Amino acid sequence: MYTLRLYHDFLPAGVQADPADTQHAIVYVLKGSAQINGEMVKADGAKYCMDQVCVTAGGEDTVLWRFELVPTDAPKAYLSGRGVRSQLKMLRRVRMFELAPRQQWLFRLDCIYNNLGSTGLHSHPGSGIRCLLEGNLHVRGTLGEESDNERQGDTWYEEGCYPIVSTTYGDCPAAFLRGMVLPVEYAQYPDTAMWIEGEKKVKSDWKSYSQQVVRLR
């Protein structure tokens, strides 16, 4: 059994966090900059890490959003160090893995932005944790989880193949990150939504940060 986890980490300027063990992680830099496993990553950038995450903040205070794919029984991988704060925002067991067992999956971090309107009823071929960057997004469905997301950092989960409707209220577009696990054949497709019924009234743009074919051990 495997679980998706999302951590929010704060590192003071110049501080090196103690290494954290993790099977698969994609680390997104929300604010500041950081050297992540030897590579400098600026704000609105991300890096995939395998087996261990080693982070040193740049010249200013840094905020990270860290998406993990790990065995369900793996210890929590909080970052620690002088002045470091690490919070587990969400964890969800990925039931899709039990319905469609395979060893290799596509682990992807992307962003939907300029998202305005309502999607109509749709689903995705993969499961994932979402995290709001700006605006608002309201998720409804007869199966799975429902959520109202209105502040930066609000987090929700979408199980693969559960139909939902996502709607923004007002005239302010939404932007949100998606830490998703997909079948590997979707590596070439930026838009994975499958519309079921209702008119697609939403407008949005898409940005990819990282995708990696990973093996579940």
CB proximity list for 84: less than 8 A, separation 6 or greater: 9, 10, 11, 12, 15, 17
CA distance 96 to 51: 23
Segment 91-143, tens digit of pLDDT = 999 987 675 667 899 999 999 999 999 888 888 888 999 999 999 999 998 88
The single residue listed with the structure tokens 């890490």 is 49
96-215 has the same fold as 2-91: yes
Q: How far apart are the first and last CA of the chain?
A: 10
* pTM of the entire predicted model: 0.94
> Would you say 174 and 131 are in contact if contact means Cβ atoms under 8 Å apart?
no
**Alpha carbon 14 to its chain's center:** 25
Give residue 37's pLDDT band: very low, low, confident or very high (50, 70, 90): very high
Share of the chain above pLDDT 90, in %: 76
Question: Average pLDDT over the chain, rounded to whole?
Answer: 92
- The C-alpha R_g of the chain, in whole angstroms, comes to 17
Q: Where would I find the H helices in the chain?
A: 96-99
Segment 128-185, tens digit of pLDDT = 999 999 999 999 988 878 999 999 999 999 988 788 899 999 999 999 999 999 999 9
How many separate helices (H) and strands (E) can be counted in the chain?
1, 18
Per-domain boundaries in the chain: 2-91, 96-215
> Would you say 86 and 79 are in contact if contact means Cβ atoms under 8 Å apart?
yes
Torsion of the alpha carbons at 2, 23, 179 and 76, rounded to the nearest 10: 70
Length of the chain (residues)? 217
* Nearest residue to 56 via CA among 76, 78, 38: 38
* Architecture label for domain 2-91: Sandwich (2.60)
Tokens coding 54 = 């080693």
Tell me which CATH code domain 96-215 carries. Answer: 2.60.120.10
The single residue listed with the structure tokens 């065995």 is 71
Q: What are phi and psi of 97, to 5 degrees?
A: -60, -30
